[in-house]
Amino acid sequence: MMTLSANIRQFRKEKGLSQEYMADRLCMSQPTYNRLERNSLACTKRLVQLANALGTTPDNLQNYHLTNSTQTEAEEKDRRLREQEVKINFLSRYVRYLQETWQAYGKGDLPAENSLK
């Protein structure tokens, strides 16, 4: 489980914001912000300010790793589904090709499925 400070760091990086930018928004130096971002207790004390500076809510920052991993899982499921659809499409076309080839050689209808066993 990611800590609050890790959530904040990841959120900031995904937004493309620098530590310098955040330090400026919070009226502190970059080294001070760096220490803040590495300390979950300090992040908790300044959570509302950090959320405002990042343009989000405190709750979103606290649960960011959960939301982000859920989205990643959904994206992975979608990717797998698309892969399976491509395979199904290929196999359907291949079956059609085999059926047409079978009939083109005058073999008539394909044998029943049970007779192939």
Conformation bin of residue 55: beta by default, left when phi > 0, alpha when psi is -120 to 50: left
Rounded Cα distance, 46 and 18, in Å:
18
Under the banding of pLDDT at 50, 70 and 90, the label for residue 92 is very high
Closest CA to 71 of 9, 10, 3: 10
What is the rounded average pLDDT of the residues 8-21? 92
Q: For the residues of 46-79, what is the DSSP string, one character each?
A: THHHHHHHHTS-HHHHHTHHHHHHHHHHHHHHHH
Does residue 11 have a pLDDT over 80?
yes
pLDDT digits 0-9 by tens, 23-82 = 999 999 999 999 999 888 888 899 999 999 999 999 988 888 765 555 666 777 888 889
| Ramachandran angles phi, psi of 61, nearest 5° | -65, -40
Contact indicator for 73, 35 with CB cutoff of 8 Å = no
